[in-house]
Structure 1
Amino acid sequence: MPGAPSSAPVLGPIANPNPGPGGGSGPADERSRAVLREAVEAVVKSFAKHTQGYGRVNVVEALQEFWQMKQSRGADLRNGALVVYEMVPSSSPPYVCFVTLPGGTLPTKAEARRSAAKIALMNSVFNEHPSRRINESFIEKSVAEALASFSGDQDEADIPNTGIGAFRFMLESNRGKSMLEFQELMTVFQLLHWNGSLKAMRERQCSRQEVLAHYSHRALDDDMRTQMAMDWASREQEMPGLLGRELGSAERELEEARLAGKELRFYKEKKDILVLAMSQLVSKPNTSC
């Protein structure tokens, strides 16, 4: 869910082409945005049949057709060819629209929806390029960059129980998949770490490979969200006020990430899980005497 146009599209992007303050402001940033805008327009114009008069493209319909086309060609879409739009509640401009792909701040809600669809459409099309597939070259480069970032030793990449080794194992397990698919998996593990599930599995003496193997084929679906929400609802009953504080923090993180043009999927999922936990507490009958 990129908070702004990204050269590394991810599964379930929340698209916002206008990151606002904190999204970069130098000449290089301006040139990058200009090039990206041109690329977006080129992609949008390729869907010329979706016009609304005067040559304007209906990007909302074009985006939906793109994913339906992928599904008809046998693409493995865990949640079906569904594009979900969510407007952030607001009674006046600026409006913000999140769009989530399967398995911007603008003057009107309709424009926010079209703008989100435009960036998501570009991410979808760009993801089809062979360079966005995880192959041997990509794996070696990614592992080398990870080693450099953490000042690690090359041997660490070959040791399963190290962080770098687990990273390599995850990449190897997803060889041939697109960056969108891999990013969804990464979001799953981010949520599991935040939720405490990974820590619980480690305490049960599960190896990194066992954890990865267990969750690598799990979809980020309503069942997983509901289970995490139940965990948070239980913690709230043990520590009243915890859920409200966590939700407030998640909402701030989501807004800060959006304004900074960062990837949004993790922050958005976190917020949704906590809101679901709140609703579970409200709907749960009071059994006290």
Structure 2
Amino acid sequence: MTPPMSALIDEWRSHLALARRRSLHTVRAYVATAERLTEWMEDMDGRSPDRAALARLTASDLRAYLAGRRADGIGNSSAARELSALRAFLRFAGGEGHAPPPVRGPRVKPGVPRPVSPDEAVALAQDIAETAKDDWIGARDWAVLLLLYGAGLRIGEAMGLTGDILPLGETLRVTGKRGKTRIVPLLPQVRDAIDDYLALCPYAPTPKDALFRGARGGPLSPALIRRAVQGARQRLGLPERTTPHALRHSFATHLLGRGADLRALQELLGHASLSSTQIYTRVDAAHLMDVYRNAHPRA
């Protein structure tokens, strides 16, 4: 990659992380897409592209690029995400007022989140806490999982909590995607779990440091929680859909099933659009159909 194009990719990375405040995962994915596109253009033309070459890309060019990606084995959902990243990068590279060539993306049927039952959620958290190598680590993991299930936090949001939330009250201020903050109720059981963890943790909480610490005192990595959940899932014989994020889905689905208002649920989850929350109405309908099929003599 030539220095000018390398510089453009670096600008794109900074723009996503700082100006757009995208998550680390999104930044990596969008930058990887930009790099794949420029490498594909170099393979096609025999020379490294520049901004002018990016601006000359046609709809046929983008369709050819996506066809190559589909040949690599990506599905409709991945192709749709790739196209979205391409459009964003080309708008950025072209400057204000530049519109990328119109390309219709593949049709993607929205997936329905599969929640875990309350008993499964509790069993999962208990197993992880009981098999931890230290009591304070078990208390930590228990508190994290209760935050996901009891308050509907994303795992990144839980990892982003710092000591300035202390002392705990009846609500918790959470910073979600794109720096958006929201207030979520804190159940007594969740508050007690965090307090128990803090009482056992060998690292004193400070306002600016991560609330949840790793074994050596640094910020807890989400990957450790995911691995712990995977191990407990295998030990308990739970389905593969039992992930940390499934606990958030369960929070939403169980609240909706108990009569929660959709708008209120949108606020609790931190969804920018109500359409993101409406998927849980389909989850609840799916659960009702499962009950019907299992219980009705004519089903």
Please report the TM-score for the alignment, with normalisation by the length of structure 2.
0.29
Q: Higher Cα Rg: structure 1 or 2?
A: 2
TM-score of the superposed pair, with normalisation by structure 1? 0.29
**Which has more helix, going by share of residues?**
2
Q: Larger relative CO (CA 8 A, sep 6+): 1 or 2?
A: 1
